[in-house]
Amino acid sequence: MDFGVLGSLVIRREGHEVTLGSPAQRRILAALLVHSGAVVSNDRLIAAVWDENPPDTAVRSLFVYISRLRGLLHSQGDEVLITRPPGYVLEIGAEHTDAGRFERLLGEARSLTTDVPETALILLDEALALWRGGAYAEFADAEFAKHEAMRLEELRLAAIEAKQDAGLVLGHHADLVGVIEAHASRHPLRERPRSQLMLALYRCQRHAEALAVFREFRRELDDELGIEPSSRLRLLESAILRQDPELDWTAPPSRIGSNVDADAAPPRSHGVLPSHALHLIGRDQDVGATAEALYEYRAVTLTGVGGVGKTQLALRVANSVARQYADGVRWCDLAPITDGAAVADALAAAVGARRQPGWTVEQSVVAVLAPRHLLLAVDNCEHVLEAVAPLLEAVIRECPRVTLLCTSRVGLGVTGERLRPIAPLPVPRPDAGAAAAGSPAVRLFIDRAQAVRPDFTLTGENLTHIAELCRQLDGLPLGIELAAARTRSLNPVDLAARSADRFGLLTTARTSVAPRHRTLRAVVDWSYALLALPSSAYSLGCPSSPEASHWTQLNTSAKSLRCSTCWQRWWRTHWCRLGSQGAQSDTRCWKRCARTAVNS
């Protein structure tokens, strides 16, 4: 059983939220959690419920509430609410509360910020991800909870600032300027973010602005409190004035690998599971089947064409099974990696491995993972297969309690791998009529359209055009999402009419989206670039007609190619499943896009 206080009060059992009952019951549980492990007297519990005006029946009512609360907790299989004069005690370990886990992660990260900043950053991301709102949010002003809520809030701010410190150690000063400015403006009398901002600006060659931050802070302190900045901040100002070389960024000694440019900010690899902000539609069966496969196989790889939604599906699955692993989930995105030699470094950063003297990076990764019980999720493997497959093979061989969840446009070929092909979303038949509204592809379009245009509504008229657009896009989630984003300026009628110009139409300006997913052309270009030269050159002969006969001829011709391995990889990754269906409408998006790409 898990208790959540970093936000509204919740209890979860095996990932499912438990109903807590009346407001009085919630207040009693909150008071017990504030003093978890210690006896809370009846009088203090009565005060928590009724403040200074308890009714004559308060004691009797308290017994009733305690009885109900005990029954609720006991029904979940845990005997944790114990009677102990003069009151009650909630006997749970710190790891059973999000606040306890947060404090543990923060403590671990603080000791690593200077020497192993990569790991510190991972731990701090994990810690801050536990917060869903203010601590004890619904009771923050109540006398019994306000001091604990304030203490936890102070620790949250300390974690944010520790994360900024780790980022500065890693050389992320340019990215951090705006982040630190926002934090400092929300907490104008805190000195630590001002110090961080001064250092970040200085390292960005913005010396005058760094000094202006000091002057502004000194003025604010004088106006509000009548005091001066600390000696530490004054020393930083002096160092900036004389341009002390000690302020310049240098790569920390714990940087993993030997092929890192010390003058460049280090590559980032997120070890913590990213949030899955998007509502996943039409994938319940895939989520369930993949989660089930993880129980049976050591390695599960989600495969499918670009834009089919492998990453979002992997995120949802990883979140759904995270509690089944004692050490949680580690996430490594390989999309930014352009050189196979950097794969081991990225994976090491994700799992918090520090290179040991005399060891390779790969050996260090295996050593860290060997005693762990966790799910290692590796996203976007297809362009570095030759580098990532041997490393993951070693993990399977040497780390018996680590399970792999990978995404790739083609299987990795590691021992015991279970492939889970992910298909596009089902699209409505042309004669579906009103029933088309229930199609997963149509529902996805509507959901994403309403995200950018809240007044967007489904009508009988636009349903026909939305359904046709989804068919034109083969039910490909990325294509549908890009099309839905255009509803800011185009209605479904116009979108359907312009669907033939997929490359021009399906784009997004959102910088938060990975570059390879900002346009449909980028998706195809990414796929095309994965091919070895012979197969790329051959595909330039891709037929200009979508007729099935051409695809059959193309498949047959491939058998005579000397570079059969390259061709087979291309065919297996992108065309075999689609091409075998001939010229059916549900294959035309990828075919036409590919012809455009290779002939442009």
Question: What are the backbone dihedrals phi and psi of residue 509, each rounded to the nearest 5 degrees, phi first?
Answer: -95, 0
Q: Is the pLDDT of residue 64 over 50?
A: yes
Question: pLDDT digits over 300-336, tens only?
Answer: 999 998 889 999 999 989 988 888 888 888 999 998 8
Beta bridge partners of 519: 507
Reported as type and span, the H/E element at residue 240 is helix 231-241
Strands across the sheet with 81-84, in order? Answer: 39-41, 87-90, 81-84
How far is residue 312 from each of residues 275, 320, 359, 422, 496, measured CA to CA in Å? 10, 12, 35, 12, 26
Alpha helix (H) ranges present in 385-439? 385-398
- pLDDT band, residue 474 (cuts 50/70/90): confident
CA 258 to chain centre: 28
Question: pLDDT digits over 403-432, tens only?
Answer: 999 999 999 999 989 999 999 999 999 988
- pLDDT band, residue 230 (cuts 50/70/90): very high
Beta bridge partners of 183: none
Q: Is the pLDDT of residue 570 over 50?
A: no
Strands across the sheet with 16-18, in order? Answer: 2-4, 10-13, 16-18
What is the reported pLDDT for 256?
Answer: 39
Name which of 10-14, 324-328, 337-341, 354-358 the model is least confident about. Answer: 354-358
What is the reported pLDDT for 444?
Answer: 93
Burial level of 75, CB count in 10 A (0-12/13-18/19+)? exposed
Q: Say if residues 403 and 325 touch (Cβ distance below 8 Å).
A: yes
Two tokens, residue 206: 């913005």
Strand ranges in 19-143 using DSSP code E only, listed in sequence order: 39-41, 81-84, 87-90
Q: Is the pLDDT of residue 526 over 60?
A: no
What is the reported pLDDT for 21?
Answer: 82
Task: Measure the CA–CA gap between 353 and 308, rounded to whole angstroms.
Answer: 32
Two tokens, residue 168: 């500065």
How far is residue 159 from each of residues 131, 165, 371, 515, measured CA to CA in Å? 11, 10, 27, 31
Which amino acid, residue 453?
A: R
How far is residue 71 from each of residues 21, 49, 67, 90, 250, measured CA to CA in Å? 11, 19, 6, 14, 58
Q: Is the pLDDT of residue 580 over 60?
A: no
| Proportion of the chain above pLDDT 90, given as a percent | 40
Name which of 10-24, 140-154, 255-269 the model is least confident about. Answer: 255-269
Averaged over 514-539, what is the pLDDT?
46
Q: Is the pLDDT of residue 567 over 50?
A: no
Task: Measure the CA–CA gap between 589 and 594, rounded to whole angstroms.
Answer: 8
Q: Which of 464, 271, 463, 515 is nearest to 378 (CA)?
A: 271
What is the reported pLDDT for 592?
Answer: 52
Name which of 38-52, 309-323, 482-496 the model is least confident about. Answer: 482-496
Any idea which residue has 């919630």 for tokens? 26
Name which of 139-143, 257-261, 435-439 the model is least confident about. Answer: 257-261
Cβ within 8 Å of residue 47, ≥6 positions away: 54, 143, 144
Question: pLDDT digits over 365-412, tens only?
Answer: 998 898 888 999 999 999 899 999 999 999 999 998 899 999 999 999
Q: Which of 414, 408, 376 is nearest to 303 (CA)?
A: 408
What is the reported pLDDT for 250?
Answer: 79
Task: Measure the CA–CA gap between 73 and 237, rounded to whole angstroms.
Answer: 56
* Phi-psi group of 475: left, alpha or beta (phi > 0 → left; psi -120 to 50 → alpha; rest → beta): left
Burial level of 588, CB count in 10 A (0-12/13-18/19+)? middle
Task: Measure the CA–CA gap between 321 and 15, rounded to whole angstroms.
Answer: 9
Q: What is the pTM of this model?
A: 0.48
Averaged over 165-187, what is the pLDDT?
92
Averaged over 108-113, what is the pLDDT?
80
Any idea which residue has 């997929």 for tokens? 502
Q: Which of 571, 547, 574 is nearest to 559 (CA)?
A: 571
209 CB-side CA count, 13 A: 13
- In the three-class reduction of DSSP (H, G, I as helix; E, B as strand; rest coil), residue 336 is classed as coil
- pLDDT band, residue 76 (cuts 50/70/90): low
Which amino acid, residue 190?
A: R
How far is residue 227 from each of residues 27, 187, 211, 547, measured CA to CA in Å? 41, 17, 19, 80
What is the reported pLDDT for 99?
Answer: 92
What's the helix, strand, coil split of the chain in %, to 5?
A: 55, 10, 35
What is the reported pLDDT for 75?
Answer: 57
What is the reported pLDDT for 517?
Answer: 46
Higher pLDDT, 506 or 578: 506
Query: Angle formed by the axes of helices 343-351 and 117-129, to 10°?
Result: 50
Q: Is the pLDDT of residue 156 over 90?
A: yes
What is the reported pLDDT for 197?
Answer: 96
What is the reported pLDDT for 516?
Answer: 47
Any idea which residue has 């295996």 for tokens? 366
- In the three-class reduction of DSSP (H, G, I as helix; E, B as strand; rest coil), residue 54 is classed as coil
- In the three-class reduction of DSSP (H, G, I as helix; E, B as strand; rest coil), residue 436 is classed as helix
Cβ within 8 Å of residue 501, ≥6 positions away: none
Please give the mean pLDDT across all residues of the chain. Answer: 80
Cβ within 8 Å of residue 345, ≥6 positions away: 256, 257, 259, 260, 267, 269, 361
362 CB-side CA count, 13 A: 16
What is the reported pLDDT for 78?
Answer: 60
Looking at residue 265, the DSSP 8-state letter turns out to be P
- In the three-class reduction of DSSP (H, G, I as helix; E, B as strand; rest coil), residue 178 is classed as helix
